[in-house]
Structure 1
């Protein structure tokens, strides 16, 4: 029997994924609705595949992915997320994920990814080679220069979260978050939280 773990906090998505995984022969299927639950559940259940959302409460999916491979856990990770592929797919590849599927795609893409991964292959779609304006290219390079944690905090700030709320969510000190915020305004060349939100919306980060 091949087991699986779904890490996603949306009940509708969980239900659809359980049906798909069952059809693909996975049993038992475990569920984690918070990022900080994933590593303990992998240790306990040792699933063959983890279907991981990047936008998770308590611990961001990129941090989860880093910890899976830092701990040399023997599971294949299929990232299934709504976050923009152009900014996240390569990060996930570098972190050791075996596949990246956008939630905007038909579930058949996830089915193909699962089959590829279980047969020893990876599943990553080629990124669109669209012509970018000089502003878009410059901002894309700025985003690529961010660390995973900086990118996560950038999204939280753009969503309007306070430093205190981010600190509690990510188990960081208020001072650390404040430092990250200052670093982000410098790296992204924005003057305020309002401009940061505009930047994030313009680049489909939120």
Structure 2
């Protein structure tokens, strides 16, 4: 019996490209989802072997989906496929409970290998995820006030990191609130908390820091 997979991405062309690769390898795509909420429902109803998950999806972001799937103890592996930077997001996905991380910039060349590895019970992460622990705390912010150190970024929660990534994409409070299903006030609170944790004086500095560190959720 073919192993069953759910694809979660809010871009139809990406879902189509992923489906083509999977079906060519003999896997069965049992559902395509545009939102995190749809993904949770599909996993509960269809019980797939694997979820291929983007991070920057509406109605529950990717980190929230991973957290809820793991909390529910559902027997499904998770492979993150995203445009988000591996240096800033790969380790977080590993710590959250994903079995693999693949960047869309690889043009899906590695997708078949990553899926095969994860379904066989292995993890599949880029080299930078293995190396990043050695860098924790070694980068100084003093050399560039708009560059955060690895330890400073590591201090952020997954939700804070997601909001920082959305800010880097130029989204305002209302847009972020709609994507993450939060109130406008809650988003404002997160932004204040981010400025405090990263020791930044204002929103302009916060957005610049996000841009300079290559942080964008997508």
TM over 0.5: yes
Q: Displacement of 1:138 after TM fit?
A: 4.7
Q: Displacement of 1:19 after TM fit?
A: 0.6
TM-score (norm 1): 0.91
Residues 101/163 of structure 1: CA separation in 2 closer, same or farther (3 Å cut) = same
Q: Which runs of 5+ in 1 are unaligned?
A: none
Equivalent residues of 2:55, 2:61 under 8 A apart: yes
Count matched residues: 206
Structure 1 stretch 70-79 or stretch 162-171: which is displaced more? 162-171
Q: Displacement of 1:191 after TM fit?
A: 2.0
- Correspondence 1:97 to 2:105: no
Structure with the greater relative contact order (CA < 8 A, sep ≥ 6): 1 or 2? Answer: 2
Q: Alignment partner of 1:127: what SS?
A: helix
Equivalent residues of 1:158, 1:193 under 8 A apart: no
Q: Alignment partner of 1:107: what SS?
A: coil
RMSD (Å) for aligned C-alpha atoms: 2.1
Equivalent residues of 2:83, 2:103 under 8 A apart: yes
Q: Which runs of 5+ in 2 are unaligned?
A: none
Residues 138/181 of structure 1: CA separation in 2 closer, same or farther (3 Å cut) = closer
User: Counterparts of 1:126 and 1:154 in 2: how far apart (Å)?
Assistant: 24
- Correspondence 1:144 to 2:154: yes
User: Counterparts of 1:12 and 1:109 in 2: how far apart (Å)?
Assistant: 18
User: Counterparts of 1:33 and 1:126 in 2: how far apart (Å)?
Assistant: 29
Structure 1 stretch 188-197 or stretch 161-170: which is displaced more? 161-170
Q: Alignment partner of 1:78: what SS?
A: strand
- Correspondence 1:173 to 2:186: no
User: Counterparts of 2:169 and 2:125 in 1: how far apart (Å)?
Assistant: 28
- Correspondence 1:37 to 2:47: no
User: Counterparts of 1:7 and 1:199 in 2: how far apart (Å)?
Assistant: 29
Partner residue, 2:65: 64
Partner of residue 161 from structure 1, selected from 147, 168, 171: 171
